[in-house]
A and B are shown apart, each in its own frame.
Chain A
């Protein structure tokens, strides 16, 4: 986890507030912070803010040889980078461990859930496939990097376009942006992650912990699911154990939030697409 240095009185205060179902920023325990999604002009660039936590996602693609075991599937790379060892109070050494752990859970959620249609990224089986790389940067940190980075990665993938390709026999011709319109990636569903911070041996739970709450928490339980209540990831960090009922409770709570977040994400993407179309029409009419 991130640095656990926090004053004892602050820690006691947070736990006492929890018992009265209060939080430092007046939120209810099972409410996330405001989500703000901004797209940049380049395809695949998005900045997602979850309250004060901000993640920048940038996407690029290139043509590579596919894996031996999966010759007709494209490849997806995802990496979470955190350049602020000193800035956000991460202890050096431990910081990279924690960032790598988050990075791997993100990759598992997005790649292994099959949300991206890998077979559509294939150009020529056994020879050429598209490799999509998503780079996530933690720009600002106020707790709950997992949810924010996951959302940023999904928005970036949904926004990204890769160049059109024509295959004649064994020749592959990549069309430049001026020849043909680039194509969007086929995304089948959106696995959103919701993190539960656990306190007092699982008795108190919070969604979307801020930094102070994250320092006090004993464990973190992350659920990745899409709006059809299909689970993609279940991850638990820290020294805590949960009963089956508690887990099912969390899943139903998370489902409501996931539905809202998915509709918000979809509407933002639609708005951005319309804006881009208007821009292109304006340029063409000049």
Chain B
């Protein structure tokens, strides 16, 4: 078994150069955010909590309606691809665990996510979507139990485990993990993985991802402070 060498970015400050965000770029929505993670840009907007459409059952908690508009691919139909639907459902479970849904019975929120740019692979875009979603909900002042941040980790054949990889490294890597951490205890909230790996790699990836998540939370704080000052 080859020795897995873990590698983080050069120094702690350099992660902030690959993160960039704009809060409330969309005037009409209750909350919106555009987030840039390395080479991926995502925009998300949330509207609500508003009236529930009559066709849906009146539930005792908030109804969440997510639409994910991916980049134009090879399918010409209007329906979202299966992979994109999976992402929508994954994000929906994330929202249900984060937002205090019991506070808004018989209401719904509508979330639309746009994938504006994706020069890297799946890991970065998934992490970018999660982070954009969290910033949007913070921007909309939805009551949340905690903020969350996603970190992409890829397994490069020669360089080992890389966090926040650049496009070249990511496209050459064999498997990837996306960990979503929450801010209070820095525990894992959600996870997505793809490719061949063993438990040892998974544990090492978790250890690498934790400090990066803390820096992303610092970034959130900075952005919100800028906005409220």
Contacts and interface: CB of A to CB of B under 8 A. Distances in A.
Interface string B24-56: 011111000000000101010101101001000
Interface stretch (B108-116, B190-198, B219-227): B108-116
Interface in A37-70: 40-42, 45, 47, 52, 54, 56, 58-60, 62
Most buried by A among B26, B41, B117: B26
Interface in B124-153: none
A84 B73 CA distance: 21
Given A40-B41, A83-B67, A52 B27 contact: yes
B53 to A, nearest CB: 8
A12 B60 CA distance: 42
B27 A140 contact: yes
Interface residues of B, number: 28
B76 interface: yes
A52 B28 CA distance: 9
B74 to A, nearest CB: 6
Most buried by B among A84, A87, A135: A87
A140 B119 contact: no
A179 to B, nearest CB: 17
A59 B73 CA distance: 9
Most buried by B among A45, A58, A81, A139: A139
Given A84-B112, A86-B48, 6 more contacts: A47-B116, A60-B71, A85-B110, A87-B110, A92-B53, A140-B28
Ranked 9 nearest A-B pairs via Cβ: A87-B47, A135-B72, A60-B72, A140-B26, A40-B117, A83-B112, A83-B67, A52-B27, A86-B110
